[in-house]
Structure formats: C-alpha cells, structure tokens
Amino acid sequence: MIDLTGFPAPENAPPPRACVRLERPEPGVVVLVLDPPHRKLAVFDLPLLRDLDLALDEVEREPALAGLVITGRTPTSFAAGADLDGIASLTDPALVARLVHAGQVLFERVARLSHDRHVRTVAAVGGPVPGGAFELSLACNLILFADDKSSRIGLPETQLGILPGWGGTNRLPRRVGVPVALDAILTGRLYAPRDAYKLGLVDRLAFPEDLRRIALELASGRMKLEKRTRGLQGILIDRDPLATAVIASQARKQVLEKTRGKYPAPLLALEIAARAPHTSLEKGLEAERNAVAQLAVGPVCKNLIAIFRLSEEAKKLKELPNGGSAKAPARAGVLGAGVMGRGIASSLAEKGIATRLFDVAPAALDVALIEHRGEIVEKRKKRRLEPSAANDAIDKLDATRALVGFRRCEIVIEAVAEKLAVKREVFGALARELADDAILATNTSSLSVDAIAEGIPHPERVVGLHFFNPVKKMPLVEIVRGAKTSPETVARCAALCLQLGKTPVVTRDVAGFLVNRLLGPYLDEALRLFAGGVDPKVLDDALLDFGMPMGPLELCDEVGFDIATHAAQSLHAAYGERMTPNAVLEGPVRDGRLGKKTGKGFYVHAPAEKGAKRPKKELADDLARLVPGGAPRSPLTAPELVAERCVLAMLNEAARALHEEVVAGPRELDLATVFGMGFAPFKGGLLRWADSVGTQEIVARLERHRAMSDVQARGTAGDQRFAPCERLVWMARNLRSFHG
C-alpha cells in the first residue's frame, strides 16, 4: 500500500476505485482501464495513483492470473503523464521524493507480475502517451501502440526541468540502448507510431479498432510476439562502462553547448541513463528519486512548468462568448508570396487547409510552390508525414496571379507591402467578393489594424495575425484586436493558430503590438553599447549567458538591418524620445549590408556548399567602421551589466505595455516574451524574472544604469530610456510584484 498522506488533497476528488476499472473478458486475463471521472484525459494525480494501488491489490490476488492488459478508456485516450499542477505546488524535497517513490513502487509492482509470476503484461496505448504514461508502459512486458495520427509517445520531462522519475530513465536504456534512450530523454521528443516502432520504443503497432483485440490475444498467449533485441553489439556497448561513459561524455558536451549549463535536468538525466544498463534497478530508481526531489523544487522546474501551463491556457482563446469553441477556417487565401506569405501559405496547406496564394510576380509563386513541395517531400522521407497526408498537403496549395477565386475563402491573410494604401486597396477588393463573415487578417508588423480596417464593410471581421519569421519555426502568433474586431473573429483566429501548432496571444492595436515593441529598446540598447565601444563578442556572449537563444547583434543579422531600421523608426514615431533610434545601422543599410540575407552584417554568413554543413558564422573584421566617427573604448566590460542593461530597457517598456493593457496580464506577457522573442524559458518570462529580482531592486538598477552616461551613445540622453516608468515606481514603493 503506497502512502499518500501529507499531500494536498485535490478538489473534487472522486471516491476510491472510481479512477480505475477492472474487467475480466475471459478466464485468466484482467484488463485494467484508466478511466478517471474527473478528467477528460487520465493524469497521474493523487486519486489515480491511489486507485491504481487499490486495483493492483486486487489484480495480485487473482489466483489464476495469466495476462494483464493496461489501457485507457478509448484506444487513443490513455494518459497525459504526471500531474504538473501537483508538482508545481510542492516545495519540500522530501515530499517530492515520497511522491516519486510512490509511483516507482506502483510501476515496479506491474513489472514484478511479469518477472515473478510470469504474467503476460501488455500496455495497449494510443493518443498522447508522454512521461509517466510511457513509464507505466515500460513496466509492462510488451507495448502495443495505436497507429493513429494522434498517437505520440516519449519522455518529455527534461523540457519541464525534471527527469523521468518513475523508472523511465532506467528502463528505457535497458529497452532500446543508451544512445537511443539519451536522444529520447534529452530532447524530450514525442515519437509518432512508425518512428517509435523503428527505434524499439514499442513492440508492435495496431490500428485503433484492433488495439484491444490484439492486446487480449497477446495477454492470453494465443498470439506470440518475440521481444526485439539490439543484437550482440548493442548489448556489449550497453554493458561496457567505458563505452557508455564515452557516449555520456559526448552527450554532455552537446547539452552544455546547447544550454550553457542553465538547465540541470538533462545533465542529471544523462548520468543516470548512461549508468542504467550496468547498475541495479534499485540503485537506478534511487538516483531518479534523488534527482527529481532536487529538481522539482528548484526555480528552473517551476518556471518551465509555468510556461507550459501558460501555453495550455492559451488554447482557451478559441472559446466563444456563448461557451462553445470556434472552428478554424477550412479554406484560406494568402496575398503575397514573399518570405512571410509563402511561409504562412505552406503552413496552412500542410495542416489540411485549402489555400490559395496570390502574387503578381510569377517567379515568387514558383518559389513558393517549389519550397512547399520540397519541404513536404522531405518530411515524407523522414516519416514525419504519411504519404497520403503529404500528397494532400501538396494538393492543398494552389497559386494565382489574379485576385480572383477567393470567394469561398473563410479567411484571407495579407502579407503584401507595408503600405497602408496598398493594404486598404486589396482588402477593399476582397471585401466586395467575400462573404460578410469571412475574416480579413493582416500580417502587418508596423501598421494599425484599425487604420487598415477603415472604410472596409463589416470591420468587425478585420484582425491582425502577426506571424514571426521564420514562420515554420516561430511558435507565437499575435492576434491583434482592433477597436471593432469581434470576439468571434478573435476566437476563430485562435482556433486557426492552434491548428497550425502555434500559440496565440491577443494584443491591443498599438504600435509594435507587444513583441516588437519590447524588442525595440532591447536591440537599440545593444546597438548603443556596441557604438559605445563594448566588444561585440562580449555583448552577444553576455546575453547568451543570460539565457537568450542568440545574441542581440546576431539577432539584428537574422532580422535584417533594413527591417530593424524600419521598425525602430515606426516605434520612434509612435512613442517619442524614449524610442529615439541610434544611427549604427543607417550606413550599412545605405551600402546594402543587411545582415544574413546579404551574407554580411555584424557576422559573416558564408553559404553552405552543396551537401555540406553551413560554415560557422564569424564576427566581421570591419565592425569599427559601422560606428560613425569610430568606436570609443567603453568602461562597461562586466558581461552581467551588459546583459542587465539590455534586459532592463526591455522590462521598463514591458511595464508600460502592461499598464496600457496591451495584453490581458503579466502571464500573457511572459508567454509572449518566451515564445515570441526567445526570452530565457528557465527564467519563466520577462516579468517572472523581474519578480525574482524584486521590483525595488529593479528600480534601483534602472537608476544606476540611468547614471551611466559614460557608456551611453553620444547625443542621446539616458534619462528617458532608463527612467523607471510610473508603474514600476508605484510597484516598488508598495512592495508589489507583477504576478502578486
């Protein structure tokens, strides 16, 4: 009997044995069904753990037990893993260790049925099978996986700041070998059925409608299925401590290169997983227990879980005022086949939305179609898309040079030139052709949605859908709500974003919306530091060490100097002196030096040879000439102060945006900073980081930087940029936090 005393009692907990159902379809075979009445999808919370314990008591008492099937309420509804809300609420390492131990004991009881009593145990699972759900499956002798597009299986715990603690870090290496297990655990990848089978994560695939029948055949012994092995070579590698130590050393180097040591979970996980094949399971489980107890109460885990919960909450944006859920448009149009337009169109088509792409330039349309087909074919080769889905994705995108054929579209997204007159003209033409409730969405990054909607019939269907570049990789979409945009339009756009696999955040229609408004002062301050003589490598490395995915100078190269300059000018026009842009990029733009797209910016970006990896970028050797009048030598050399200066500039503007209710609240702002600009996830977002520092200290640091006139760009007063805004001053005076 596991001991769950001392844990917070969940609200509306069902009575004992309500979460697990036992069925006996034939003599000697028991089917254990996870079916909690208080959850749409089973979660290993305290009630489910309690009832699994009670059910196993009954199973173990079966005198003639020959087979056990563990499954969910439907073939594609098994379990979503551990209860993250419960983990987030725990602050005592001893309590965490007890919870981990309880799960380990339960899953080991399942494993012992096979080891000690020779019971044929089969996990018949499908749909999402992450984390604890997969760990329970690993405790079974065989894993039968539903071959369905909704099915994904894996161990994503390191992405949440912890590691698989219910046996997964030990059992997976024993099943598939150390190299495959490390890749699965460290990346947190969730595998599609074919990939999972190929790698040995599961033993057999079955169509959902056959899952239970085949599971019963296997559990009863009527169907034989030999467990797959890795062969002698694999076994020898796993059992050789020296070989696994070498593998672990290489993995450690890769993890440190990627995370700069900011994420402790992957480092602890790889140590345990590498030792698993030549360590007793008892010691391995103890190592898991100790690691999770340490990690789960730390700030990295708390912050990563907070970000995950925010992304889950964003899914509620598709809810309609009447309580229903909006449906994503089934037919879409995209205007403009430039980088953004063709990325949006390709994303829509890949997700099964019939998409018509317009551009007056045939070459641009050709590029869009060729790129789309190439990406889909590549995904089909890598088995990320089934052949039928790949063919459908290719067929879903068509192109036209005439602004016709859009009548049936439920949404049209324009990505044409950033000129108000052009956008109004195309929207006016479309409004006359489309249905009255068809959505007109603009991908503008600098123009007002309300200004674009002016004069358009039914302005309630005009909205901003601000995708970020590159469209396929960036997870955030800002849904920009104009003064007349209807809640139904926002909900339908949110449903579309979710179908595309994006995370939506709703913003007001203000200059720069949210993300670009905050990026403006961040990048501008970095450029001022560069102009003031801060070494460019020190500058970029300082922000990388802070936790940003790339340095600000490299980000300028990625964005493009011309686009960054245009955005800075737009922000200056809207917000005045505090957003006065510096002149560093003006000269390079005049010379056609625009960053990565021209091969040279702050860095030299050499093209890749055909079939070879792209060479590493290197800082350009002529950066001094980018500074008008030559760069002075800066006394600001401490990397932590360099990073702090850039982040504080962004935070000050974030406090203003929050005060203006540009987004619903601090949680949405944090989500946007992590998913839209890559703000260090392990810090939980910009405002969560500020809360960890304290608003009094934030104001004090702003005042210190305000006084550092010797490192400010010539001709621009720092008092406007670093004067703490009224919201921050009030919060500091009243000891308030952003999330308090």
Residues 6+ apart with CB under 8 A from 739: 666, 667, 687, 688, 691
Q: Quick one: 14 exposed, middle or buried, by C-beta within 10 A (0-12, 13-18, 19+)?
A: middle
Residue 411, CA distances (Å) to 123, 263, 343, 356, 390 in order: 43, 41, 16, 11, 23
Q: Is the dihedral of CA 413, 400, 369, 326 positive or negative?
A: positive
Task: Please count the helices (runs of H) and the strands (runs of E) in the chain.
Answer: 30, 19
Beta strands in 676-717 (DSSP E): none
User: 5 Cβ partners below 8 Å, 6+ apart?
Assistant: none
Residue the block writes with tokens 């560069």: 530
Residue 567 tokens read as 């955005």
Which tokens in the block code for residue 408? Answer: 């049936």
- The residue type at 262: K
Helix (H) or strand (E) holding 333: strand 331-335
Other residues' Cβ atoms within 10 Å of the Cβ of residue 593: 19
Phi, psi angle pair for 404, to nearest 5°: -135, 165
Q: Looking at the annotation, which residues are catalytic?
A: 466
Is residue 121 a contact partner of residue 113, using CB atoms and an 8 Å limit?
yes
**Burial class of residue 382, CB neighbours in 10 A (0-12, 13-18, 19+):** exposed
How far, in Å, CA of 646 to CA of 543, rounded?
8
> What is the DSSP pairing of strand 411-414 with strand 331-335?
parallel
Instruction: List helix spans (H) across 384-514.
Output: 387-395, 420-433, 449-453, 487-499
Q: What is the DSSP letter of 315?
A: G
Tokens 């530091």, residue? 529
